[in-house]
Chains A and B, each alone.
Chain A
Amino acid sequence: MPMTEIRNAQAAAAPVLQVDGLKKHFPIRKGLLRRTIGNVFAVDGVSFSIQPGETLGLVGESGCGKTTVGRTVLRLIEPTGGSIRVRGEDITQLSRKALRPYRREMQIVFQDPFSSLNPRMRAGDIVGEPMKIHGIGAEGGERARLVARLFERVGLRPQQMRNFPHEFSGGQRQRISIARALALNPKLIVADEPVSALDVSIQAQVINLMMDLQREEGIAYLFISHNLAVVEHISHRIAVMYLGRIVEYADKVTLFTRPQHPYTEALLSAVPVPDPLLKREKRMVEGDVPSPVRPPPGCHFHTRCPYAQDRCRIETPALKPVGEGHLVACHLR
């Protein structure tokens, strides 16, 4: 089991989130009787854990299943298999009602700052709503004070509580989203491409805000992104996903200096370097990501891998350790 190795590789502290063999297959239905004619293997056996106050970056191309992982962890999508543990408690099978106390532990920040806020609610009501649901600060004026404090913490003016979402810029809206996520004092925030829709200068502000909050509150992040530069800046550890599986898992420095998986190598060589004179050996990956409906047998990456051998086409490589806390799913390592 890859998970035991990950566990051994880490400090003994109880993880905020522990995911074991998570699977999400979306059925493809067709015809009048809605018969299932196939599955989209969006997430196919993903395991990782996040320690308190830690950021795990989850990177990969579009369609590799990273967003599905984030949604499934929060039970916004029901997993097909595997288990999700929040601070040691298995929440995979919990009913909606039994799940509610765990909702306070983990929140989400979305990619699109425009559709993530209800356009007909005032910013202050949006941020105060989670408190209302969980009965926090119900006594006269207490909630408004808490919301005002949240606004200050994310760098907004409390006077802006009365404004509607359309009166804010994209970066400000992401700050409102972050304030809403913070309202329940969560231990974990799933950040699904939180800065991808923002201007570069604003991206830095939002990332720095998230890092400040982590320092002050000890919040852990599952940071989902396709932007390696951003992930390198904010993450402690990084998991690289390809077609529904994690192919490499290491701390930030190791991953960026000694990548072991051919896919990670290719991803890193695609990151632009701000030095026009620097000539690098480019290892471009050819072709497209295969369809997750019919993923290739064996190693999912063999169709595009420059080193692929016969074994890769038949046998699925397990995620195995190659160094301290460094796991790779490749037969050649």
Chain B
Amino acid sequence: MTSTDHSVELAKAGANVTGWWSRLVFLALRFPLGAFGAVIVALFVFAAIFADAITTVDPTSTNAAKSLAAPGPGVLMGADFMGRDMYSRVVHGARISLAVGVGSTVLGCLFGVIIGLASGYLLGWFDLLVQRVIDIMQALPLLVMALVMAASLGPSLQNTIIAISIPLIPNVARVIRSNTLAIRELPYVEAARAQGMSELRIAVRHVLPNTLAPLIVLGTAQLGAAILTEASLSFLGLGIPEPHPSWGRMLSESAAEYVRTAPWLVIFPGLAISLVVFGTNLLGDAMRDLLDPRQRS
């Protein structure tokens, strides 16, 4: 749905919809929490894109003199035990966290949707086979699955994304399949068949769009989980390799050793993770409402 699609509904609600700005303001007033979430997410996306422009110190350069320096002038968020600037590392970490979160979620949802839709629409032996494989995958926790994947693929950003996306596939496939089962029996699907529409087109045009609503919620929740999983993987040395700044590794490395003596090493990456997860969840809820035509008028 493009923003122009809303103009009719907005006009009906009495809003002044002359330009994109007033449209945006209207949406923000209707979904204040969603707008708040959008601002948080936008902030992190901005930090990820312009990380080099808004920081002055290389996130990987060490400085023995500043080891474990407390936040203050010159070191906004303090420095870690190797004297690396925490502010620069948190800002640059946004890049990795967002790449891992968005990348693995999109990848996992894409394959999950294809498998779930095919499974629920085709049924028969294909469905039976797919569902048993999914049973096996779901028997293992997300982290264990990701661990196995990451260990066999080797540590790198790309492999971390793949490793985290694979455990997501069964969750998405299950949700999409169950919705597909309900929707494939509805009269409007029968009507499409009576018109002579091909089964593939029915599945894509009539069934798929009506199965996606829970995916947005699932996807945004997964975004946070993916960032946390990346943190765990990196901590175990299977995720993003040193010296690249990863919030998760920063957090888990410092937590045990420095939480009492240098709490800023834990607080700032932890805050970043919490904020991003919080922001994506708020945005996701608002998106779900916005994308449902029934909720719009």
Contact = CB atoms under 8 A, between A and B. Distances in A.
Interface of A: 71, 74, 76, 99-100, 103-104, 106-108, 110-112, 115-120, 129-130, 133-134, 162, 164, 166-167, 177, 180, 184
Interface stretch (B14-22, B69-77, B194-202, B261-269): B194-202
A119 B195 contact: no
Interface in B216-242: none
Contacts of B293: 119-120, 164, 166
Interface in B1-18: 8
B206 interface: yes
A167 B9 CA distance: 11
Contacts of B197: 129, 133
B156 interface: no
A100 B210 contact: no
Contact of B195 (A107, A111, A117): A107
Nearest to B195: A130
Contacts of A177: 191
Contacts of A164: 293-294
A54 to B, nearest CB: 21
Interface string B38-80: 0000000000000000000000000000000000000000000
B195 A167 contact: no
B190 A76 contact: yes
A249 B196 CA distance: 31
Given A120-B210, A167-B297, A115 B188 contact: yes
B191 A99 contact: no
A118 B210 contact: yes
B209 interface: yes
A224 B206 CA distance: 26
Contacts of A99: 196
Interface of B: 8, 186-188, 190-197, 201, 206, 209-210, 293-294, 297
A119 B187 contact: no
A133 B187 contact: no
Contact of A110 (B187, B193, B196, B201): B187
Given A164-B293, A164-B294, A166-B294, A116 B191 contact: yes
Given A119-B294, A133-B197, A164-B294, A108 B210 contact: no
Nearest to A106: B194
15 contacts: A76-B194, A100-B196, A107-B194, A108-B190, A108-B191, A115-B186, A117-B188, A119-B210, A119-B293, A133-B197, A133-B201, A134-B195, A162-B8, A167-B297, A177-B191
A57 to B, nearest CB: 21
B195 A133 contact: yes
B193 A76 contact: yes
Contacts of A71: 190
B214 to A, nearest CB: 14
The 10 nearest A-B residue pairs measured at CB: A103-B196, A116-B187, A110-B187, A130-B195, A164-B293, A100-B196, A118-B188, A120-B209, A166-B294, A115-B186
A180 B188 CA distance: 11
A175 B121 CA distance: 29
Nearest to B12: A167
Given A76-B190, A110-B190, A164-B294, 8 more contacts: A71-B190, A99-B196, A100-B196, A103-B196, A110-B187, A115-B188, A133-B197, A133-B201
Given A115-B186, A133-B196, A110 B294 contact: no
A180 B196 contact: no
Nearest to A109: B191
Contacts of A74: 194
Q: Which of B194, B201, B294 has the most CB of A within 10 A?
A: B194
Contacts of A112: 187
A107 B194 CA distance: 6
B120 to A, nearest CB: 17
A129 B187 contact: no
Contacts of A167: 297
Nearest to B192: A129
A108 B194 contact: yes
A119 to B, nearest CB: 6
B157 to A, nearest CB: 36
Nearest to B297: A167
A78 B294 CA distance: 35
A117 B209 CA distance: 13
B124 to A, nearest CB: 11
A161 to B, nearest CB: 11
Contacts of A162: 8
B196 A134 contact: yes
Contacts of B192: 129
A110 B192 CA distance: 12
Contacts of A130: 195-196
A100 B8 CA distance: 37
Contacts of A108: 190-191, 194
Contacts of B294: 119, 164, 166
A117 B191 CA distance: 9
A177 to B, nearest CB: 8
A180 B197 CA distance: 14
A162 B196 CA distance: 24
A183 to B, nearest CB: 8
A120 B207 CA distance: 10
Contacts of B196: 99-100, 103-104, 130, 133-134
Contacts of A117: 188
Contacts of B195: 103, 107, 129-130, 133-134, 184
Contacts of B206: 118
A167 to B, nearest CB: 6
A119 B187 CA distance: 12
A104 B195 CA distance: 7
